Structure 1
């Protein structure tokens, strides 16, 4: 879009009335955009994409396996320490009628009597008097309750015999307890019952019960618990993740068109960009002594990702008849909007277009350094043109013979950059450049932290929003707030580009769209 002089004055007045700018949470008044943070937070999406959750689990399979292994190892150690081998010593005692009693053990009445008598002795075999006697005899380091829990007494079915079993970690202790109980039981229990007599049937015997019998079960339970907890943690992190994760977030949550991606730096070889320090009108077919060659930061200018981005951008500009002046800005400070603008400029130039790249970031513009331009040459740039009465704007343009792009640096830093970018001279510059070039790309300060993008956007035909891929500092609600601020001033957003795109962390819906060969 283009603004008339009256509209420009209105925008400049609105910018003077900006009270606070807190990232994209800034609230503008008196002609600006009023963005209610509370309303935006209520609009935050609450949907759950199960394909995305499955993708999270797929990528986190190593974490899940690691958690299962660690938990299983912990369960194994715990099982070994807590389940020490137990020794069980068993002794048997028989109940008989008293010597002065005449009981016919062959009769039904006699058998019933002896069976009842056996049950009586078995029930009182764990009496406090007997067990305290054993504790004192053996000097056991336990009380009655502890010893009671280690002893089991049961009557053998259809017999006059009851069984005494003692469990202990020491075979000597368990055997000593059984022997002492059998030895002391007749003298203590018979007077209590008052009938019959009891005697040892056979010598006690001891066997060992393996304490690690439940180790496998414990390990499996621990491993399963560890894996489940890791799965829940991964899913919780995915649900709570508010970063821009892929094209679904760009299109659904932000309501923007997904233009493409700018891959993360690394792995690709740096490309040397030759930028001679020549004025626009000079013949740059000759080599100049002052010519500098330096690595250009967008190392991926030759990748298919940038070519695809260029193609989609060109198609949208033609379909929407948006014009040929584009603003490229970051959603948040610290992004790679400058790299994106440079990569697009070079790609369009290689496709045969006449391109002008303008660095309008008069706060921290560093694009000239990335292009290998000396400080003294970059000082005469956009800010100088906007302040001076010089009519020949081409004097501030540098040309690249190798890549065929023209570049205007930001120049010296300026505190009133918003006013300069909203001036009539800036509008004139873009009008002149629009007529001279096939495409004019303006790299500006982050829209989420500076009013420059709001000012400049009203003088350009469309804007491209650079959004860092899966960056914790860049959350969806803030990016949406930035887009709403731009759109509220009538700035047309052509689409968004995910910068620092990490192919190895791509969402499932992007795995077949934006994974390119370098």
Structure 2
């Protein structure tokens, strides 16, 4: 069973969950376009898990992850967001739940995954927070335990979105690339340097990522 439904903070929802607050707005339409383009980019392959990352912090990848998840849930999909960013978790703040228990507790075999999943007020959308910070996070994310987490999530949900750390500087994201059907790389206009974008793409390709597309974010919120 999942934990009781949590109510998100109204102030934060207005800043982050635009597709939920204003589903008919132009920004929501852009997220729906991205949602549909993911299907087209798959070339007929089934895409059930997506990793979202960026070259560096502060480029808006968590905002993109949650709004994309909302649009998928609005389509009728059962969606799970996994916060795999142990160093700077954001998903729990957006939905106003505790950081722990979460993914790290599951990987540490302290509890079952179903005991760490939270409902949100968005129908069809659940979240798995990051849990407490781990110093051996890369090893655990690259373990059989994480494969088991992804298998369980794929059996219970139509789509699983992983909000991951920036691909440059830490090895955690590349440890997860092979466990997802596709990768979205987020760049922020006016912030992401061309060299960073190229280096991030190179790092993902080195890890044999299936890069479905690059999202250019106009503003990080």
Q: Is the shorter-chain TM-score for this pair beyond 0.5, marking a shared fold?
A: yes
**Candidates 102, 109, 124, aligned match of 1:381:** 102
Q: Secondary structure at the match of 1:293?
A: coil
1:500 is the counterpart of 2:218:
yes
Alpha-carbon shift at residue 401 of structure 1 (Å): 4.3
- What TM-score, normalized by structure 2, do the two folds share? 0.88
Moved segments of 4+, more than 3 Å: none
Q: Does 1:451 align with 2:150?
A: no
**Mapping of residues 32-431 of structure 1, within 5 Å:** 279-280=1-2, 291-294=6-9, 295-296=12-13, 297-301=15-19, 302=23, 303-317=28-42, 319-373=43-97, 375=98, 378-388=99-109, 390=111, 392-431=112-151
1:384 to partner: Cα distance: 0.3
Deviations 1:393-422 (A, max 9, x none): 111100124432010000111121111110
RMSD: 1.9
Would you say the 8 A contact 1:354–1:438 is kept in 2? yes
Matched length: 210
Gaps of 5+ in 1: 1-278, 503-518
Matched residues in 2 for 1:356 and 1:342: separation?
Answer: 10
Counterpart CA distance in 1 for 2:101 and 2:74 is 27
Q: Distance in 2 between matches of 1:312 and 1:298?
A: 22
Moved more, 356-365 or 474-483: 474-483
SS of equivalent to 1:349: helix
More helix by proportion, 1 or 2? 1
Structure 1 residues 463 and 368, CA, compared in 2 at 3 Å: closer, same or farther?
A: same
TM-score (normalised: structure 1): 0.39
* Partners of 1:332 and 1:479 within 8 A in 2: no
Q: What are the superposed Cα offsets for residues 106-136 of structure 1, whole Å, 9 maximum, x if unpaired?
A: xxxxxxxxxxxxxxxxxxxxxxxxxxxxxxx
Cα 1:395/1:355, change in 2 over 3 Å: same
Tell me the secondary structure at the aligned position of residue 82 of structure 2.
Answer: strand
**Larger relative contact order (Cα-Cα within 8 Å, sequence gap ≥ 6):** 2
Contact 1:300 1:306 in 2 (8 A): no
Q: Which runs of 5+ in 2 are unaligned?
A: none
Asked whether the 8 Å contact 2:41–2:213 carries over to 1, the reply is no
The 8 Å contact of residues 8 and 121 in structure 2, kept in 1 or not, is answered as no
Q: Which has the larger radius of gyration?
A: 1
